Amino acid sequence: VHKITEIGMEKDVLAENRRLAQTNHRRLTGKGIRSIDVMGSIGAGKTALIVRMAQELTKRGLRVAAIAGDVTGEDDYTIFRSAGIPALNVNTGTECHLDAHLIEHALEQLDLSLFDVLFIENVGNLVCPADFPLGTDKRVVVISVTEGDDMVNKHPMIFLDSDLAILNKIDLVPVLDVDVERLKRDYAKLRRGETLHITSAKTGEGVVETLRTLGFDV
């Protein structure tokens, strides 16, 4: 009996994804668009955080669009549209992550001359998206204080494969039994001294600082 866990992800699939990711990246940068892949667990507040970041960037005159990646449905897409953010919905069907090919098609549907910044919200998952870069400038991972203080230790790969990590819903710490210092410590250890960003999409805390670290002049 072969080991099932070793089959799933074939090397040429990953290589093909990486090739398409490079094509996507050239296409976006060619149009002067800065792009961010927002990965992270389900319910970590990715959508709300993107809305907050988009609002800050819009205030500074930047034109922001979003791609909402979900297995099914269009809940996040609807939230983006309600917040006035031009958005596209991408359903993955049964897959637990977006991939560069899905984004290639999504980019074909957007008029890239209309935007300066593109947020891509990946499927809520701390495992699958790590291996599939989409071709964005930056990859961000979002977790929340509601998920317990062992998230970094449990899922090192996605924290290693991303450029920046955010601990969201910090406003809920007073009512939760969660050791934020452990999360910060685990992340700093894994990333050799880098800082875990702390935000609240609800109150706006930490959002501007995070955008600055992402290279935006806000």
- Residue whose entry in the numeric block shows the structure tokens 């996040």: 76
Shortest distance, position 187 Cβ to a copy of itself, whole Å = 14
Shortest distance, position 190 Cβ to a copy of itself, whole Å = 12
Q: Is residue 55 within the footprint of a copy of itself (CB under 8 A)?
A: no
- Residue whose entry in the numeric block shows the structure tokens 């875990």: 196
Shortest distance, position 62 Cβ to a copy of itself, whole Å = 27
φ/ψ of residue 72, rounded to 5: -150, 170
Q: Is residue 32 within the footprint of a copy of itself (CB under 8 A)?
A: no
Handedness of CA 88, 94, 98, 104 (dihedral sign): negative
Q: Is residue 13 within the footprint of a copy of itself (CB under 8 A)?
A: yes
- By CB under 8 A, the count of residues binding a copy of itself is 51
Shortest distance, position 114 Cβ to a copy of itself, whole Å = 26
Which stretch, 39-47, 49-57, 189-197, 204-212, contacts a copy of itself (CB under 8 A)?
Answer: 39-47
Q: Is residue 10 within the footprint of a copy of itself (CB under 8 A)?
A: yes
Shortest distance, position 65 Cβ to a copy of itself, whole Å = 21
Q: Is residue 131 within the footprint of a copy of itself (CB under 8 A)?
A: yes
Q: What is the DSSP string of the chain?
A: ---GGGTSS-HHHHHHHHHHHHHHHHHHHHTT-EEEEEEE-TTSSHHHHHHHHHHHHHHTT--EEEEEEESSS-HHHHHHHHTT--EEEEE-TT-SS--HHHHHHHHHTS-GGG-SEEEEE--SBSSGGGG---S-SEEEEEEEGGG-TTHHHH-HHHHHSSSEEEEE-GGGGGGS---HHHHHHHHHHHTTTPPPEE--TTT-TTHHHHHHHTT---
Shortest distance, position 83 Cβ to a copy of itself, whole Å = 15
Which stretch, 25-33, 52-60, 80-88, 96-104, contacts a copy of itself (CB under 8 A)?
Answer: 96-104
Site of interaction with a copy of itself (CB under 8 A): 1, 3-5, 7-10, 13, 16-17, 20, 41-43, 70-73, 75, 92-96, 99-102, 123-128, 131, 144, 146-148, 150-151, 153-157, 169, 172, 175-176
